[in-house]
Structure formats: structure tokens, C-alpha cells
Amino acid sequence: MKFLSKWISQLLIVTMMVLPFSAQAGMISTDQVVVSAQDQANRGKVLDFVSRADVAKQMEALGLSAASAQDRVGAMTQEEINQIAGKIDTLPAGASSGWVIAAVVIVGLIIYFYWYRR
């Protein structure tokens, strides 16, 4: 028994001297944590957008299945995900455009000039 414990202790001494033993601890800044959380939120936002029924229907009309689209989102880099998530945030709600506002302004000007130019 004494031989076994001596042999194990010598083996441990040799392995501690030969094998690299390093541990590193450091502080993580708040900015790193926020960026990581924001990256995960952006990836979730893009995946939710791709899985919407109307978006999936439009993609299938273009020849891309919903499963394939989700696989492609999974293969994107974080920079691409952040760029697409930023574009999703700037899309108009209800898919309206500036032409509706311009048409309302033009009709309003025509009515104004018709009533006051008589």
C-alpha cells in the first residue's frame, strides 16, 4: 500500500511539472455582456421574422422553403444578422409607403386651390 501511494504521488509530481498548468481569470466588461445579449436578441429577431407566415409564404413564392431559410439564417455571421435586424427595425409597419402621404397632400392642395381660387 505504501508503494502504491508513493508511486501515485510521484506520478502526480511529474505530471504537474511536465504538463502545462495555467488558469486565467479576468473581468468581463459590461459592454461585452451587452453586445453578447444584443447579438442573441438580433439572431432571435431574424429567426422570428423568417418564421412568420406571410414571410414564409413570400419566400416559398420565390422558391425558398421556410426550413431552408432558417438554415441560412443559422449559417449567417453575426455582422450579417445585425445588419438584417437593423433593417427589420426600419421597415414600415403595414407596408405603407410615402406615396400615400404624397397623394393625400396633392388632393388636399387641389381642394384648397379649388375653394379659394374661385
| pLDDT tens-digit map of 7-55 | 999 998 888 888 877 777 788 888 887 888 888 888 898 888 888 888 8
pTM above 0.75, yes or no: no
Alpha-carbon Rg for the chain in angstroms: 31
Share of the chain above pLDDT 70, in %: 90
Share of the chain above pLDDT 90, in %: 3
Residue 93 has pLDDT above 70, yes or no: no
| pLDDT tens-digit map of 48-61 | 888 888 888 888 88
Return the H-helix or E-strand segment holding 53.
helix 53-61
* Confidence class for position 98, pLDDT limits 50, 70, 90: low
Interacting residues of 82 by C-beta distance below 8 A, sequence separation 6+: 39, 42
Question: Can you give the residue ranges of every domain in the chain?
Answer: 30-90
